[in-house]
Structure 1
Amino acid sequence: MSGLHAVAGPVAVPGPASFAGAVVGRGREIELLLAGLDAGAHVVLEGPPGTGKTTLLRAIASAGDAEFVFVEGNAELTPARLIGHFDPSQVLAKGYSAETFVDGPLAEALRSGGLLYVEEVNRVPEETLNVLITVMSEGELHVPRLGRVPAAPGFRLVAAMNPFDAIGTARISAAVYDRVCRIVMGYQSAGEEDEIVARRGAEVPAAWRAQVVDLVRRTRAHDDLRVGSSVRGAIDLVRVAVSLARIRGASPTGWQTGFDAALVALSGRITVREGCGRTPESVLEELYTAVFGAKPESSGGDAPGEA
C-alpha cells in the first residue's frame, strides 16, 4: 500500500465538459480516468487501436495543466532508456553527479509530478516493467551513482495496451495489474465515429460519410476477419477518396473511386482468419457491395451517385 501514499498528491481535476472540443464522447471513460488519477492510482487503458486512448490522456493532461511525458513501448525500451543515463563526456570532466545525469522520460515525469504515458506497455521488456513496478510500489526511483529520485506530487503512470495483438507482445504480469486500476475502452458508437471522421477527414457528403463509417464497422464483425479496422481506416478512406477523385476528375462518392480508396485504406488494417481461404480484398469487396450496392455498369463503375 505504500505506493498509493507515496505518489498521491494534489492533481488538477477538470470537469468532463473541458474535453468537449478534444474528445468525442467518452464521457464515462473520462470520469473513470479522472477519478483514478485524483485518487492517486496508476491506470491501464485497455482496448483495440483507434479507440482514442492517447487522445483522451493528452486532453486530460492539457486540461489539468499537467506535464505529459510520452513513451513508446517496444522491445527496445531498456531500463536505461526509460530512466536516463550519465553523459559520458560530462562524467569525464565532472564525475558522477546530478549535474551530469540526463533524465529519461521516467525521471522527467517523477521530478515534474507529471503524467507518464507508456503506449503499448505489453511490448515492453520484463526488466523494464520491473522498474515501473518498483516506482508504482515505492513512489521513488533509485539510480546507481545518482541516488534517490522521489515522485513529486501529482506523478501518475498511465499505460495503454491492445489486448488483441499477439505479435511482439507479452502477457502483463499479475504484479503490474495488482498496482493499477484498469479501464477498458471499446469502439465508440456509429454516431461518435461519424463525428470523428467529420472532424479529421476531408469534407464529403454526410450520407456518404456515414456509409464509410458503416463499412469500417462491419469489418469488426465479419466472420472471416480476425481483426477489423479502427476509425482511422474511415478517416483515411475519406481522405484518399477525395484525393483520388481529384486525380481522376471524378466524384469521391463514385462507386469505383470509393472502392479503390477502401482497398488502399483498409486492406492493411484488417486481418483474415487463417484457413478461411479468402483475401482482404475479397472480403472488402463483399462488404463494400453490401453497403454501397453493386458496381454500376455505366461510366466504368464510377458514376458520381451516392449508392
Structure 2
Amino acid sequence: MSDDARSDGGDAAVETGGDPGPSAFEPLSVEAAADLIGEIVDNVERVIVGKRDAVEHILVATVARGHVLLEDVPGTGKTMLARAVATSVDASFRRVQFTPDLLPSDVTGVNVFNQKTQEFEFQAGPVFANVVLADEINRAPPKTQSALLEAMEERQVTVDGDTRPLPEPFVVIGTQNDVESGRTYELPMAEIDRFAKKLRLGYPDDEQEAEIIGRTAGHHPIEELEPVTDGHTLRRARETASQVTLSEPVREYIARLAEHTRNTAQLGVSPRGSIALARTSQVRALLDGRDYVTPDDVQAEVRTVFAHRIRPRTGSETGEDVVASAVSSVPVE
C-alpha cells in the first residue's frame, strides 16, 4: 500500500474470520437490548451535542446490520460521530480520506512480495475494521468507490482471487459534503443502495453550539470517552433484533410502500431497500421495548431508509416527497 493511503485510527491488527452465525450468539432480552442501545446513544451524546435523533438512527442501522451515509456541509461533526460510535462499542476504527488519486488497493489491501520468504503476503487495507469511516466518499472516482461494494454487501474482500472475511460487526459510515459539487463524483446507485440509511446532521442552534464550544475549549471529550459495551454484546443485540416478530400484514405494508415508489418515481426502492426497512423497523420496535413490529415502527424508519434510493420523475420532487406520498397514500391493513 502506498505511503499516502490516507487512513488513520483503529487497531493495527483486527481479528477476522467472518461471522460464525447466529447460533454462536445468545440473544439478549428485549429489555436488555433496548437498554444497551440507549446506553450507547447516551455515551455518544457525551461527544455529540443536540443530535440524539441522528445518533439513534445510526445505532438502529448498526444493530440492523446496515451502513450509514451522512451528507452535510463540512464541520458538522460527521467524523467525530463515527469515532464516538466506534469507541462506545470498543470496536476497531479506521478512517479513509477519499481523494481523486486514491486507489482501490488503498482501501481493500494489496499483496506484497516478501523478499525473505519469497512469497506474496497480504497487507490488509483500512476496510478491515469494525467501523470504517469513508470520509468524503464522493471525492474519489467510481473505480475507487466500487472497492467498497463487495465489502458492504457480503462482508468480505477479494484481492487477486483470494477472498477474506471482514471482522464482525462491520459498519461503513460514509460521509459526503453537499458543497463544491463540481469537484466531486456522483455516487453510483449500486453503492447508494447499499447504505441502509442516509442522514443529515445539520447545524446546531446557538445554545447547542455554545455547549459544543464549552466542551471542546480544552481537551476534546472524545479523548476521555470510554466504551459501554463490546462487539460480542452488540452482536447479541443484533440476534435479538432478528427475532423481533415481523407479521405478514407488516411485511405486506412494507412491500406496498416500495411498490408505490416504483409506480410514482423514475427509479423506486429496490428489494434491498425493503429488507433494510424491515430490519430497521425491528430495531425500532426494540427501542420501544416490544418484540413485534407495528406500522408505526415502519413509518418511523421509512424516510431515512427509502428516500435516498429514489429518483423522482421531475426535478421539482425529492425522494422524501415520494416517501411522504407513499405513507399518506398506502393504507395500513
Q: TM-score range by the shorter chain?
A: 0.5 to 0.7
Alignment partner of 1:46 is 2:61: no
Paired position in structure 1 for 2:143: 127
Q: What residue ranges of structure 2 are gaps of 5+ in the alignment?
A: 1-17, 26-32, 219-333
Shift of 1:74: 0.7
Q: Name the aligned partner's letter for residue 101 of structure 1.
A: F
Q: Are 1:7 and 1:139, in contact at CA under 8 Å, matched by a contact in 2?
A: no
Give the C-alpha shift of residue 136 in structure 1: 1.7
The equivalent of 1:55 in structure 2 is 80
Match of 1:93 among 112, 116, 124: 116
Q: Which residue of 1 aligns with 2:194?
A: 179
CA distance in 2, matches of 1:32, 1:7: 26
Q: TM-score, normalised by structure 1?
A: 0.56
Match of 2:124 among 71, 85, 103: 103
Post-superposition offset of 1:66: 0.9
Q: Distance in 1 between matches of 2:104 and 2:140?
A: 10
Deviations 1:37-84 (A, max 9, x none): 110001101111111111111111111111111111111210111122
Report if the CA contact (8 A) 1:7-1:154 is conserved: no
Write out per-residue CA displacement over residues 186-228 of structure 1, whole angstroms, 9 at most, x where no aligned residue: 11111111111223348xxxxxxxxxxxxxxxxxxxxxxxxxx
- Give the equivalent residue in structure 1 for 2:61: 36
Structure 1, gaps ≥5 residues long: 203-307
Distance 1:191 1:47 in 2: 20
CA distance in 1, matches of 2:47, 2:194: 29
Q: Which of 81, 84, 95 matches 2:106?
A: 81
The CA deviation at 1:6 is: 7.7
Taking a change above 3 Å as real, the CA distance of residues 87 and 118 of structure 1, as seen in their structure-2 partners, is: same
Give the distance between the partners of 2:214 and 2:186, measured in 1 at CA.
36
What CA distance in whole angstroms lies between the structure 2 residues aligned with 1:31 and 1:156? 15
Deviations 1:18-52 (A, max 9, x none): 12322212111110000001100011011111111
CA distance, structure 2, for counterparts of residue 166 and residue 160 of structure 1: 14
Larger Rg: 1
TM-score normalised according to structure 2 size: 0.52
RMSD: 2.5
Post-superposition Cα deviations, 1:265-290, rounded to whole Å, max 9, x if no partner, equal xxxxxxxxxxxxxxxxxxxxxxxxxx
Q: Match for residue 254 of structure 1? A: none
1:125-164 → structure 2 map (5 Å cutoff): 125-144=141-160, 147-164=162-179
Contact 2:71 2:198 in 1 (8 A): yes
Task: Kindly provide the amino acid, as one letter, of the partner of residue 176 in structure 1.
Answer: E
* Alignment: residue pair count: 188
SS in 1 for 2:49: coil
What is the CA–CA distance in structure 1 between the aligned matches of 2:20 and 2:69, rounded to whole Å?
16
Say whether the 8 Å CA contact 1:7–1:155 is kept in structure 2.
no
Query: Is the CA contact (8 Å cut-off) linking 1:85 and 1:102 kept in structure 2?
Result: yes
1:7 Cα deviation (Å)? 11
Partner SS state of residue 55, structure 2: helix
Alignment of 1:63-78 (within 5 A): 63-78=88-103
Q: Which residue of 2 aligns with 1:226?
A: none
Q: Structure 2: which amino acid aligns with 1:124?
A: A
